[in-house]
Structure 1
Amino acid sequence: MTELRRQLGVSDAVTIGLGSMIGAGIFAALAPAAGAAGSGLLVGLAVAAVVAYCNATSSARLAARYPASGGTYVYGRERLGEFWGYLAGWSFVVGKTASCAAMALTVGAYVWPSHAHAVAVAAVVALTAVNYGGIQKSAWLTRAIVAVVLAVLAAVVVTAFASDHAAVGRLSLGSDVTPFGVLQAAGLLFFAFAGYARIATLGEEVRDPARTIPRAVPIALGITLVVYALVAAATLGILGPQQLAQATAPLSEVARAAGAPWLEPVVRIGAACAALGSLLALILGVSRTTFAMARDRYLPPALSAVHPRFGVPHRAEVTIGVIVAVVAAVADVRSAIGFSSFGVLLYYAIANASAWTLTRAENRPPRVIPAVGLAGCLLLACTLPWTSVASGAAVIAVGAAVYVFTRRT
């Protein structure tokens, strides 16, 4: 058995998308982004949102036409050729494996900071077991996590805006703003937006994908944009760009600076839940892309097996879970964000290039959308910290070499 069951409706798909985006990214990415953009943080958020919208639109149109597991791996292969599909899949698996480790370590940092790596490994094992039990169980757990995280973020925003310590002047642009800094911040913030791909990646498990996916993607992205804008504005209004850039737990510091110490433990719980939600959805997405690549024999074919009872790619899920657990045992959270952003931006660049080739009969988006998305992805990837660019490019080059070697063999 190598086909998955179609079990997800619109609300399930939106929930999984929200669980991927409204996750630990908003708790972790604000500080490094503020360090890059300074008082231009909200401008960087807007740039990231524009690129995310273009990517989401291109991905939704492609997913409706190719409702199979693998996302851009499938689209690139069908529209641009085998190599580009493979490169998209490689970029996604490698980049999102780093994201999984970052999310797991965020759980550890908030739950038990002195034993963050051990907690991270335990979280990976537990969520891999949940995914093994079936996609519906994952959707139910994600819905509960999203509800908790939205409640916590709402409490932070309301507390910040109602505080006497909030200053509107901190939201204005200062002399510290540079175009390069804004673009680098947008690239880092893109780490927190990229979860809408999970809806497309799970295309083979969605009911009526031609209708469900194009509806679910913009709904999930729109809700996320509103939430992120409110949280970023509240955080800047309380801390200011300099203090935010130095914060290790920005939303916890917002609660403390706003004179609401009772909110700090609530924020810690919310951050842990957010990271768990992101990790759950990330493992889902990476395992499905691995499953699709294995089914096409770009990865070991044994990984394409589907569990006869639960209807999930169980070998791919267990393999990804083991790899993520090992990485989480030794990795660093902040270094994983830039590396992940590089791989995911390349992934979406291929998605936009694929969408450009759609015809009107294939319900292509307006040409300006994939054009802006492609240019934006490449530009943001190049403006990331040089260590992220260098390591990301090296890993992508290794993937290309593996493809050439396997094809010749």
Structure 2
Amino acid sequence: MTDDLERDLGLYATVTISMGAMIGSGIFVLPALGLKEAGPAVIVAYVLAGLVVLPAALSKAEMATAMPESGGTYLYIDRAMGPLAGTVAGLGAWFSLVFKSSFALVGLGAYLLLLVPLSDGLVKAVALGLAALIVVLNVVGTEQSGKAQSIVVTAVVVALVAYVVDAGFAVDTARFSGFAAEGADGVVTAAAFVFVSYAGVTKIASVAEEIENPDRNLPLGILVSMGAMVVLYTLVVAAVVGLNDPTTLTTSGPGGGPSLTPMADGAGRLFGGVGVVVISVVAILALTSMANAGVLASSRFPLAMSRDSLAPETLAGVSERFKTPATAILVTGGLLLALIAFVDVVDLAKLASAFQILVFSIVNVALIVFRTSDVDSYQPSFRAPGYPVVQVVGLVGGLALLTQMGTVPILGAAGIVVGGVAWYLVYGRSRTDREGALAVVLARYRDGGTEAHE
């Protein structure tokens, strides 16, 4: 095996991988859950969540051009704050993304049941089959996975635009009455639930080492996909609210809870008798695409950690034939299959969501550390605008949303942090003596503000 990965992802593939990581449960599952919390103002909640994510997206776009290597979130936090923080971020982000991919594949079962009457066992078998296919596709090649992602995401976006356009002629404006009846608290709580809809925007940074012309394509890919998804989410959620009786959305799901197929609930009014079929197929494609993007990105965390001696060195191996981190992909795929087969991934996905909000908040701190340290090795070609105000707003906004997640998800995030610390103490601490840019900042303050450069 060799350690070199090929740069074969262009701008379009970069944008579609990022969008594919976002077009999934955020559109096809979560709108009804958000509606239950905020009423029609769930539309505002999606915009608010996007605004809270934006600072982290800008921060990652800058750091990605300074460090266009595999690892994304792990790499930036590790280099900024040291290997302990990096270990927590790397393991937590890896688990979180795999949980979300599992949730996407299991979640498509609700749409699959609208097409064919299958037993729960067969639905799970389909999810396992798709997971295995995704793993094989990622092992065979990033370029092939990127091409498949581009095709699927393009088709899904076209279908969603058609959904929105048709809905413009069919929505019932009365559905928007009492728009903000649940108040600001309801909107903030809903924003916390749908925050994860945007979490995929920075997954592309995890495969930065495989992107052509990263100085241009990384920040452009992140920002284009983010802007496109804020607009698309807002319009699609507005269409869902305007097409459906709120009672249908909030009580037609399992156990009388929110609907798990909100996009399909009003599809018959748009596309006639085949509406439900069309939307169900689109949902299955989108959720599969989301899982593919999750495997593509999450497998790069163990690869990067292995290179830094924070994970077994075998995970750093790159296939000579396919030029992909095959071992890291297979380990990630094994966890994905196990979660689908044996675990209630819906509950785990909720726990992982809280950790993602925490990580997005810390990413803003990492950028502040790099800028403050002024280390010579940090030379980004893109500079996040509005520094440091934007990063402080992102940090405060993320922590504010985290408080709305509830006790169990917060405890779950704390559990991931404890697990990461334990792994570092048992495995990583004896294998690395690196320090992050934060050490430079602290040394400067200890020395009374004298200049300190790496």
Paired residues for 1:65-144 under 5 Å: 65-112=66-113, 113-114=118-119, 115-144=122-151
Decide whether aligned partners of structure 1 residues 300 and 152 sit closer, same or farther in structure 2, where only a CA change above 3 A counts.
Answer: same
Decide whether aligned partners of structure 1 residues 183 and 337 sit closer, same or farther in structure 2, where only a CA change above 3 A counts.
Answer: farther
Letter in 1 for 2:205: A
Q: Which runs of 5+ in 1 are unaligned?
A: none
**Is the radius of gyration larger for structure 1 or structure 2?**
2
Paired residues for 1:241-390 under 5 Å: 241-245=246-250, 246-256=258-268, 260-332=272-344, 334-359=346-371, 362=380, 363-366=383-386, 367-390=388-411
Q: Structure 1 residue 3 and structure 2 residue 23: aligned? A: no
Task: After TM superposition, give the deviation of residue 149 of structure 1 in Å.
Answer: 1.1
Residue pair 2:20, 2:293 contacting (<8 A) in 1 also: yes
Helix, strand or coil at the partner of 2:266: helix
TM-score between both structures, scaled by the size of structure 2 = 0.85
Letter in 2 for 1:119: V
Helix, strand or coil at the partner of 2:355: helix
Letter in 2 for 1:237: G
Q: Structure 1 residue 170 and structure 2 residue 171: aligned? A: no
After superposition, give the CA deviation of every residue in 1:150-209 in whole Å (9 maximum; x if it has no partner). 12222322332212xx22242355464133332221122122111111211111111221
Counterpart for residue 419 of structure 2: 398
Decide whether aligned partners of structure 1 residues 146 and 159 sit closer, same or farther in structure 2, where only a CA change above 3 A counts.
Answer: same
After superposition, give the CA deviation of every residue in 1:318-371 in whole Å (9 maximum; x if it has no partner). 111111111011334542442231121122122111112343975353212211
Counterpart for residue 215 of structure 2: 210
Counterpart-to-counterpart distance in 1, 2:22 and 2:290: 7
Counterpart-to-counterpart distance in 2, 1:143 and 1:271: 16
Counterpart-to-counterpart distance in 1, 2:203 and 2:323: 18
Counterpart-to-counterpart distance in 1, 2:178 and 2:65: 41
After superposition, give the CA deviation of every residue in 1:51-89 in whole Å (9 maximum; x if it has no partner). 121121111011011111010211111112222222211
**Farther-moved stretch of structure 1 (2-11 vs 65-74):** 2-11
Residue pair 1:252, 1:268 contacting (<8 A) in 2 also: yes
Letter in 1 for 2:225: A
Counterpart-to-counterpart distance in 2, 1:338 and 1:37: 18
The percent of aligned pairs where both chains have the same amino acid is 29
Measured on the aligned residues, the alpha-carbon RMSD in Å equals 2.0
Residue pair 1:131, 1:138 contacting (<8 A) in 2 also: yes
Letter in 2 for 1:256: G
Helix, strand or coil at the partner of 2:299: helix
Decide whether aligned partners of structure 1 residues 241 and 40 sit closer, same or farther in structure 2, where only a CA change above 3 A counts.
Answer: farther
Counterpart-to-counterpart distance in 2, 1:392 and 1:60: 25
Helix, strand or coil at the partner of 1:162: coil
Counterpart for residue 47 of structure 1: 48
Counterpart-to-counterpart distance in 2, 1:243 and 1:356: 46
Letter in 2 for 1:140: K
Residue pair 1:239, 1:257 contacting (<8 A) in 2 also: no
The match for 1:233 among 226, 229, 238 is 238
The match for 2:156 among 135, 149, 153 is 149
Decide whether aligned partners of structure 1 residues 90 and 378 sit closer, same or farther in structure 2, where only a CA change above 3 A counts.
Answer: farther
Moved over 6 A (4+): none
Counterpart-to-counterpart distance in 1, 2:354 and 2:187: 16
Q: Structure 1 residue 63 and structure 2 residue 64: aligned? A: yes
Decide whether aligned partners of structure 1 residues 172 and 58 sit closer, same or farther in structure 2, where only a CA change above 3 A counts.
Answer: farther
Counterpart for residue 446 of structure 2: none
Counterpart for residue 187 of structure 1: 192
Task: After TM superposition, give the deviation of residue 131 of structure 1 in Å.
Answer: 0.6
Task: After TM superposition, give the deviation of residue 407 of structure 1 in Å.
Answer: 4.5
Task: After TM superposition, give the deviation of residue 33 of structure 1 in Å.
Answer: 1.6
After superposition, give the CA deviation of every residue in 1:231-255 in whole Å (9 maximum; x if it has no partner). 0000111225443233221011011
Decide whether aligned partners of structure 1 residues 338 and 176 sit closer, same or farther in structure 2, where only a CA change above 3 A counts.
Answer: farther
**Farther-moved stretch of structure 1 (280-289 vs 32-41):** 32-41
Task: After TM superposition, give the deviation of residue 39 of structure 1 in Å.
Answer: 2.8
Q: Which runs of 5+ in 2 are unaligned?
A: 251-257, 431-454
Aligned length in residues: 407
Counterpart-to-counterpart distance in 2, 1:138 and 1:408: 35
After superposition, give the CA deviation of every residue in 1:237-278 in whole Å (9 maximum; x if it has no partner). 122544323322101101135583321100010000001110
Counterpart-to-counterpart distance in 2, 1:402 and 1:180: 38
Decide whether aligned partners of structure 1 residues 32 and 332 sit closer, same or farther in structure 2, where only a CA change above 3 A counts.
Answer: farther
